[in-house]
Amino acid sequence: MDSSYPSAPLSIPEVSIIVPARNEEVSLGACLQSLTAQTGVAFEIIVVDDSSTDRTREIAQSFSGVRVISAERLPHDSTAKGQTGKAWTGKNNAVVAGAREARGPWLLFTDADTVHRPGSLARALNEAKKQEADLLSYSPEQVVVTFAERAVMPVVFAELAAEYPPHKVREHISRRGSRQGSAIAAANGQYLLVRRPAYDAVGGHASVATEILEDVALARLFRTAGHRVYFRYGGDAVRTRMYRNWSQLREGWTKNLAQLFPHSERLALQSLLLWTMAWSALGVAVFGAISQHFPWIAFAALWLLVYRRIRAAHFTAANNLIAIACGLPMFAYLLLRSRKAHARGQVSWKGRVYDVGLLSESTPGEKKAA
């Protein structure tokens, strides 16, 4: 494994930041600029170049103090559990390589398309310690620009908030010192801060290396082992733009949605029905206003009900309205496309094809979440 040491400090950092990167020349610069500017805690940054063919490595090496290493060849699963022979995912392989080189007692796994707010690293570490969390995860603020992003992303994250409510995922410490929380396990791989001893104890990402959605699989391992998981919306700490065009968005959600929502076909039908009802109700309300049948205007309240559900995703009012108007049928299409891809047993992402297990409609949601 080759590496680059621009200015490796001798002291042991408190946090090792690990950034897996595959063809991220568009976003990596902003990510590293925000990370290198963090204050209030000693840290190191390790960028793992995952066989990039663009300027990703060059950009990473241009930042003083950032260590750049290369991910090794993708191995296959040879665990005693499954003997599946499935290939590790590229991201899991990269973060395992980064964790192997990390020196800090805390590890922050974050994506190359994230931007971190000033001082957020120190605040996150303090929050993890205050909450006695072995794994702290933030769901970043989602930046949307194109029409497809503005229409689809609020719907996806609103449904995620409904399926995996952060307040139910979080464990709480009672006055007597006992831990209280639901059985739902969830996390967001765009921001995972873990305590190194607990991470190593559960086997780290190597234990979930063949999982397409490794973040909640890892959170589930933590919780099963008795380690504390703390998850919340973290727009005050980090933001990200996941997809930059329709093609990326379609491929990414095709990979993920069927595992995020085990009853994907039912949810697709519900989304189409809700969209039809919303537009029909608006038509009735407009007709009532024009014909002076004013009680009919009350049908517009259905839009308010849908809006109330969508706004849980923390997007702007304009984006929420676009999502209600156009995003619901697009979301239904992506759900069905994802379901079909998983039924075939293969999904693709960033030029790689991964084998996936067949889904069951009876599979508990928290065991397939991300």
Residue 17 is classified by DSSP as E
Examine the fold and report which residue of 217, 244, 271 is the final residue of a domain before the chain moves on: 244
312 & 232 share domain: no
**Within a domain: 154:** no
> Rounded to 5 degrees, what are φ and ψ at 135?
-135, 115
89 & 225 share domain: yes
302 & 217 share domain: no
Question: Which residue range forms the structural domain that includes residue 286?
Answer: 260-367
Residue pLDDT, tens place only, 128-165: 999 999 999 999 999 999 999 999 999 999 999 888 77
Alpha-helix residue ranges (DSSP H) falling in the chain? 28-36, 56-61, 90-101, 120-130, 147-163, 166-169, 196-201, 214-224, 246-260, 264-290, 301-310, 317-322, 328-344
User: What CATH number has the domain bearing residue 193?
Assistant: 3.90.550.10
211 & 285 share domain: no
227 & 331 share domain: no
96 & 127 share domain: yes
pLDDT over 80 at 14, yes or no: yes
Residue pLDDT, tens place only, 156-202: 999 998 887 766 666 544 334 445 555 577 899 999 999 999 999 99
Question: Domain tally for the chain?
Answer: 2
Q: What is the model's pTM?
A: 0.85
176 & 295 share domain: no
280 & 240 share domain: no
Q: Per-residue confidence at 278, pLDDT binned at 50, 70, 90?
A: confident
231 & 289 share domain: no
Residue pLDDT, tens place only, 41-82: 999 999 999 999 999 999 999 999 999 999 988 886 654 344
**Within a domain: 307:** yes
Examine the fold and report which residue of 244, 275, 295 is the final residue of a domain before the chain moves on: 244
Taking the C-alpha atoms of residue 197 and residue 125, their distance in angstroms, rounded to an integer, is: 15
CB atoms within 10 A of CB 273: 12
Q: Do 28 and 56 form a contact (C-beta atoms < 8 A)?
A: yes
84 & 229 share domain: yes
**Within a domain: 231:** yes
221 & 265 share domain: no
